[in-house]
Structure 1
Amino acid sequence: MKKRIFLSGIVMSVVLMSCSKEKSTTETTNPKTDPMAIQTPVDTISVDSTAVAAQADNSQNSLDWSGTYEATVPCADCPGIKTSLTLNKDNTFSITEEYLERNTKNTDNGTFEWGARGSMITLNGKTAKYKYKVGENKLIQLQLDGKQMDGPNKDLYVFKKK
């Protein structure tokens, strides 16, 4: 009986030790000064950044991004522009922009392209040439150069998925 308890204790210890997190240390080596380091010329390695982006998790391949997004973005001479943007799986879009208190409504449609990293889209419509960062159930409108909006109204450029 004592042997069974002893063996059970050893088995439990082994199981618990195999489940615990271990700190690993990584030793860095300098290939130029360490004769044991594997030396691979950097310029002989060819990496296609588009292929790496396609393989890595990103907004394009990891999120359920298709659907309709809405926001009321700032307007220089009106209370705001109520905007509804629908993204389709076939990389087409439709957008409606309603200028509040003006009775003006613009609609456009076209295609959109994903950026190289798979986290940003650019609309290619007749008039709509916007850029958006794609997030979990949201789009963040970017400046035309791809930078995020700044200033006190930057939160107004966040589109929420319906």
Structure 2
Amino acid sequence: MKKRLIFTALLLSGCSQLPQERSADLQTLSAPAAEQITTEPQQDIVIENDATAEAMATDFEHIFVDTDMTFSGTLPCADCPGIAYHINLFRDGRFAARQEYIDRNQVNIVRGIWLLEKRSLHLVNQQQTLPAFHFLSNTQLAMLDMSGKPLLSNVNYQLTRETEFRKLDTRQAMLGIYTLSDNQASFTSCASGEMLAIANTQHHLPVMRQYQQDERLRGNDVIATMLGRRGQDDQANLLFIDKFEQFWPGAVCPDQIQPGKMQGIVWRAEKIANRYVPQQLNVRVIFEQNDRLYGFAGCNNFNGSYKQRSNQLNVQPLVSTRKFCADSSELESQFTQSLQSADRAEVNGDTLQIFKNNQLILQFKPAVN
């Protein structure tokens, strides 16, 4: 009996060894000698990128828009140097976006609601279409391609979150119909057809006086160009003028243009010979019905007279103001000289072309802002 008890005690003491101690013993027995361990160098993974590359998220955390965010950057454009974006995402589900087409003097302000589908961001507006984006991280948006995959290529298709929320700049170049009655003015955009009341600020009062004192304008609806912005919240139906440019008596909105008609349209210079005109210079001209013309050449206002018979065009010497602008005076001189040397004009669709000796010297498009 004593022998059986002693044997049982020995078995129990053999089973009482701690697990970690036994594991250490096993590792000691099974580990190879240090000099026999070899590690292959890790190879870099090369990812071939193109305009329709596969989606690759750099992290996998959930995306939450739990605070107001600002994303900005410049995305590629098919027929311009790029489109500068400023997108504000509000935590209540709204968004506001500013698209500025570089070198076109064209700014779009779009508002609506945003929808988040997993990591894909959709900006919804019933009138205008904006690109969709993918959250690569909570600080980086990549534009989606037509198949709904992020564009990852050597060309930058990404917007970056700014460290602080930034208010949207809503100023836009505008062309539309100015109306004044009983000291209350309104502006109807030629581009959208929307009518807004004009706020009586310090920038509007000189405009109102000019309208009231000019017999060509007083009591009439007249095309005007300006830099303005729409009010916010309870002032959303007000237009605030930041910079007034000029009135264009006798002009009509571009959508009222008759085929082949040259008169009564504010034409924006697109090319001088083979040279594109920077759109921000706003080089414009209007040919009135009474054989008068006037416009803006990038730095100075000008006016003069012209004769047109069929397609034949003759422009008399122009009268101009005499300001000097370092960034536009050379181009302005080339523009006015070309206009005065014209001998033929043709309107093809929405394009006005002016020739000298059968050589194209000026090309215009209807101004929309």
TM-score range, shorter chain: 0.5 to 0.7
Counting aligned pairs with the same residue, the percent is 25
Change in Cα spacing, 1:131 to 1:68, as seen in structure 2 (3 Å) is: same
With normalisation by structure 1, the TM-score equals 0.56
Check the 8 A contact 1:141/1:158 in 2, yes or no.
Answer: yes
Check the 8 A contact 2:101/2:107 in 1, yes or no.
Answer: yes
The residue number in structure 2 matching 1:145 is 147
Q: Select which of 41, 60, 63 maps to 1:59.
A: 63
Which ranges of structure 2 fall in alignment gaps of 5 or more residues? 1-17, 22-59, 163-369
Question: How big is the shift at 1:57?
Answer: 4.9
Any residues of structure 2 matched to 1:67-82 within 5 Å, and which? 67-82=69-84
Question: How big is the shift at 1:132?
Answer: 1.2
Which one has the bigger helix percentage? 1
Q: Structure 1: how far apart are the matches of 2:78 and 2:95?
A: 25
The residue number in structure 1 matching 2:123 is 123
User: Cα deviation per residue 1:105-160 (whole Å; 9 max; x = unaligned)?
Assistant: 11101001111xx311111113134211122212111124311214431xx21111
Q: Structure 2: how far apart are the matches of 1:132 and 1:65?
A: 18
Q: Structure 2: how far apart are the matches of 1:65 and 1:132?
A: 18
Q: Structure 1: how far apart are the matches of 2:78 and 2:131?
A: 17
Q: Structure 1: how far apart are the matches of 2:157 and 2:61?
A: 25
Q: Structure 2: how far apart are the matches of 1:102 and 1:141?
A: 22
Which ranges of structure 1 fall in alignment gaps of 5 or more residues? 1-13, 18-55
The structure with higher relative contact order (CA 8 Å, sep 6+) is 1
Equivalent position SS for 2:99: strand
Check the 8 A contact 2:133/2:150 in 1, yes or no.
Answer: no
Check the 8 A contact 2:66/2:91 in 1, yes or no.
Answer: no
Give the residue type in structure 1 aligned to 2:62: N
Give the residue type in structure 2 aligned to 1:96: R
Give the residue type in structure 2 aligned to 1:157: Y
Q: May I ask how many residue pairs the two structures share in their alignment?
A: 104
With normalisation by structure 2, the TM-score equals 0.26
What is the root-mean-square deviation of aligned Cα atoms in Å? 2.6
Q: Which of 1 and 2 has greater Rg?
A: 2
Which one has the bigger strand percentage? 2
Change in Cα spacing, 1:107 to 1:85, as seen in structure 2 (3 Å) is: same
